[in-house]
A and B are shown apart, each in its own frame.
Chain A
Amino acid sequence: MDMLTQWVGWLPNLAPGVLVSLQLTGFSLLFGFPLGLLFAVMAEAKFLPLQWISFLFVEVGRGLPALVLLYLLYFSLPDAGITLTSLTTAIIALSWNAGAYASEYFRAGLAAVPLGQKEAAITSGLRGWTGFRIVILPQALRISTPPLAGLAVLMFQGSSLAFVIAVPELMSKAFQIASITFEYISVYTLTAVIYGSITLVFLGFVRVLERRLGRHLERR
């Protein structure tokens, strides 16, 4: 049987796994990015306890391998009386992981906005949250976009780790097929093609987005 026919036969089994992987990634970013921005802002807070909380969350999120974080939450949450589905547990672990890394990118973006912008905002009466939202944040986000897009790709690929706590995502579906058919190379090649093509399409969108975000800086 040639490989393509094999692949077509497997796709119906893999497709739900792709959806779960996308869901897991999507939710991790949906929660992780705002969390990261929050940690980044808290890291600059004048009120010190906020800085400590931010530091703690970020260092744990970055310091632990995602795999360890997954296992820890998966086994400790039920002990604490919290029962969640494995997908929800994975979303929490990966959101934490994404948030920790994203906060560093947001911090770098915020720090790269020239001080003169803040001063011009203040002297234009745009102080506090208004000035942050209208003047500082949009400029920081543009700077943070490329590394955040890279992080999104890593999170998509990292979502395959959720396989270890039995989340029915793409990798676990592939593993099932492989363990029944023993066609390891063929199955994992298809899996690689799926991960790779989704990543490439996503990066294409990001490129368009980056161009749009940077349009105002082009001189012509």
Chain B
Amino acid sequence: MVFSFGTRTPPTALTGEVVVSGLGKSYGASRVLSDVNLTMNEGEVVSIIGPSGAGKSTFLRCLNYLETPTEGTIEIGGARVVAGGKRPDKASLDHLRRVTGMVFQSFNLFPHLTVMENITLPQRKVLGASKEEAQEVANKLLKRVGLPDKAEQYPARLSGGQQQRIAIARALALSPKVMLFDEPTSALDPEIGLEVLAVMRDLADEGMTMIVVTHEMHFARDVSDRIMVMGNGGVLEIGPSEQVMSQPQNERTRQFLKAVLDR
């Protein structure tokens, strides 16, 4: 199936399934990711934890080709991209990015656009939505993230927590199949982070498929179905959240958990 931005093909043929196999990434001679595998069902939430430099961000950013993986296969929501060899064509990349939504640690809202424009412009350019349609979607999403009265504000006038919730709304506006979060609360004060985590928890409850790189152990344990522990560019272990937290199998996981939980 050819699928590209700009067409309004209803994404009915897509599912929220994630199948990543043998994913690897090298920068020249330095290998930062090797043989990462992850299979997820629709509606599943996986948290990725692990020490700094483990490759968590690199892995997440390979999933939508913000980083170019050097080997492996990525299948997300009907999009399929094979790494290595020549760079995938535009249509495949568009498809991959169309089915994934991304939330960054530093929010990355467009500062020269109002909240409403931040949420409506992608819909209009990517989905070809009319202004009215886009605004209707935006208003619903603003309500959903608890900021219905901020539509006409510029991002600089909002607190970090509010900006991050808007960023989530912006990503959701394109109806992604899978949401990717890279430490969405790390730039926030702990209490402010809670309001973002609450939105993410709602999202998980509503059945969104999510991959969340996080240092929030409570979130990882309580909200995600499984936890994937990364270390040294690979997967140390992956399993049901409760089990990974209480009976980690891997020695390095045990050390990592001890270090963060004692803090």
Judge: A and B partners, yes or no: yes
List A residues at the B interface (Cβ < 8 Å). Answer: 114, 116-117, 119-127, 130, 134-135, 138-139, 142, 215-220
Residue of B66, B97, B156 near A216 (CB, 8 A) is: B156
| Separation of A123 and B104 alpha carbons in the complex (Å) | 10
Which residues does chain A contribute within 8 Å of B110, judged by CB atoms? Answer: 117, 120-121, 134-135
Measured between alpha carbons, how far is A107 from B41 in the docked complex, in Å?
A: 45
Q: Which residue of A lies closest to B170 (CB)?
A: A124
Number of residues of chain B lying within 8 A (CB) of chain A: 30
B contact residues vs A (CB 8 Å cutoff): 5, 64, 66, 94, 97-98, 100-102, 104, 106, 108-114, 121-122, 125-126, 154-157, 167, 170-171, 174
Q: Contact between B112 and A138 (Cβ–Cβ < 8 Å)?
A: yes
Q: Give the chain B neighbours of A119 by CB distance below 8 A.
A: 66, 102, 104, 108
B171 touches A216 (CB 8 A): no
Known: A123-B171, A125-B98. A117 touches B108 (CB 8 A): yes
Instruction: Knowing A125-B94, A125-B97, say if A116 contacts B108 (CB, 8 Å).
Output: yes
Given contacts A123-B100, A138-B112, 8 further A-B contacts (CB under 8 A): A117-B108, A125-B5, A125-B94, A126-B125, A135-B110, A139-B111, A217-B111, A217-B156
Given A119-B104, A134-B121: A124 and B156 interface contact (C-beta under 8 Å): no
**Do B111 and A123 touch (CB < 8 A)?**
no
Task: Select which of A127, A130, A142, A220 is within 8 A of B112 by beta carbon.
Answer: A142
Q: B156 to A218, Cβ gap below 8 A? A: yes
Smallest CB gap from B155: residue in A:
A216
Q: Are A122 and B170 in contact (CB under 8 A)?
A: no
The CA of A91 and the CA of B109, in the complex, are separated in Å by 41
B112–A124 contact, CB under 8 A? no
The 6 closest A-B pairs by CB, nearest first: A125-B126, A120-B108, A216-B154, A124-B122, A123-B102, A116-B108
Shortest C-beta distance, B68 to chain A (Å), equals: 13
**Shortest CB distance A102–B (Å):** 21
By beta carbon, the residue of chain A nearest B106 is A116
B29 nearest CB across to chain A (Å): 24
Say yes or no: B121 contacts A120, CB within 8 Å: no
| Known contacts A116-B104, A218-B156; A123/B112 CB under 8 A | no
- B112–A216 touching, CB < 8 Å: yes
A45 to B52, CA, bound (A): 34
User: B121 contacts which chain A residues (CB < 8 A)?
Assistant: 124, 126, 134
**CA distance in complex: A127, B102 (Å):** 15
* Nearest B residue (CB) for A216: B154
B106/A130 in contact, CB under 8 A? no
Q: With contacts A116-B108, A123-B66 known, is A130 near B125, CB below 8 A? A: yes
30 A-B residue pairings within 8 Å (CB atoms): A117-B108, A117-B110, A119-B104, A120-B110, A120-B167, A121-B110, A123-B64, A123-B97, A123-B101, A123-B171, A124-B121, A124-B122, A124-B126, A124-B174, A125-B5, A125-B98, A126-B125, A127-B94, A127-B97, A130-B125, A134-B125, A135-B110, A139-B111, A142-B112, A216-B111, A216-B114, A216-B154, A217-B156, A218-B156, A219-B156
| Chain B positions within 8 Å of A216 at CB level | 111-114, 154-156
Cβ contacts under 8 Å, A135 to chain B: 110
Contact B157 A219 (CB under 8 A): yes
Contact of A126 among B104, B111, B126 (CB under 8 A): B126
Most chain-A Cβ atoms within 10 A of its Cβ — which of B98, B106, B112, B157? B112
Contact B125 A120 (CB under 8 A): no
Please give, as numbers and ranges, the residues of chain B lying within 8 Å of A218 by CB-CB distance: 156
Of chain B, the residue at the smallest CB distance from A116 is B108
Q: How far is the CA of A216 from the CA of B66 in the complex (A)?
A: 28
Chain B: which residue is nearest A139 at the CB level?
A: B112
A126 vs B108: C-alpha distance in the bound complex, in angstroms?
14
Q: Determine the distance from Cα of A121 to Cα of B108 in the docked complex, in whole angstroms.
A: 9
How far is it, in angstroms, between the C-alpha of A218 and the C-alpha of B157 when the chains are bound?
A: 7
Provide the bound-state CA to CA distance between A114 and B126, in Å. 23
Q: How far is the CB of B214 from chain A (nearest CB, A)?
A: 18
Q: Return chain A residues, CB-CB under 8 Å to B112.
A: 138-139, 142, 216
A121: chain B residues within 8 A (beta carbon) = 110
In angstroms, how far is the closest chain A Cβ from the Cβ of B65?
9
Q: How far is the CA of A116 from the CA of B61 in the complex (A)?
A: 12
